[in-house]
Amino acid sequence: MTTLLEVSGVSVTFDGFRAINNLSIAIGEPELRAVIGPNGAGKTTFMDIVTGKTRPDEGRVIWGAQSVDLLKLSESDIAKIGIGRKFQKPTVFEEQSVRDNLAMALKNRRGPLSVLMWHATERDAARILELAAEIGLSDRLAHRAGDLSHGQKQWLEIGMLLAQDPRLLLVDEPAAGMTPAERAHTTDLLKRAARTRAVMVIEHDMEFIRRLECRVTVLHEGSVLAEGSLDHVTKNQQVIDVYLGR
């Protein structure tokens, strides 16, 4: 397992409020990692920084073996380099079909001209069917994404992430609003994905995290409070105080 993403000494301040404070965190490839922490711990801001939405005041974000400086790239370049992100609120393109949503995410050339000339190849079509089967939406390909249930939208978004074939998946609260059966499916999806790539999951639900059976990082007030197995961190007195205690 090699280090894929290394965030070191990152801080960011919004109007005097320090959302991230000297945060250092690293993830290898392949790896499944859960990030937990109370509200305002900086989990979402951390993802914003990695994906280029927010620029930190200081610190470094280094990617892959070539040590690419992510802070110099735009959001779309970061996505192209292999970082996929699933938002807290499911954001799929509701006006378009499930197939179009997936097709857009497929790992193809992204320039306007090549997209204009694009035609679905056999391989692309097969990949879409494969992804649809994986996220359980095989019979929904022609439907409007807006007509899907909440859970199905979450899956579609995960499916779009997988279609991008990223090396790192950042997943923000994937299980929110899901039925227990849907949660189980989601867990399987993420665990399968983590066999070949790095997956970082932000979640509140302890049961969900327990089922992921992975290393856990606890954030608090913008920096890492503890890291280790779920059992290990839940025994940590500090973690109990700031997080579980509440």
| Residue numbers at the binding site for another protein (CB under 8 A) | 14-15, 51, 53, 74-77, 79-80, 84-85, 87, 91, 93-97, 99-100, 103-105, 110-113, 115-116, 118-120, 122, 124-126, 129, 138-139, 141-144, 160, 164
| Separation of alpha carbons 202 and 99, rounded Å | 27
User: DSSP labels for 177-228?
Assistant: T--HHHHHHHHHHHHHHTTTSEEEEE---HHHHHHH--EEEEEETTEEEEEE
The helix/strand count (H/E) of the chain reads as 10, 10
Residue 180 has φ and ψ, to the nearest 5°, of -55, -40
**Residue 129 vs 230, nearer CB to another protein:** 129
CB of 11 to another protein, least distance (A): 17
Contact yes or no for 144/97 (Cβ under 8 A): yes
**C-beta of 14 vs 238, nearer to another protein:** 14
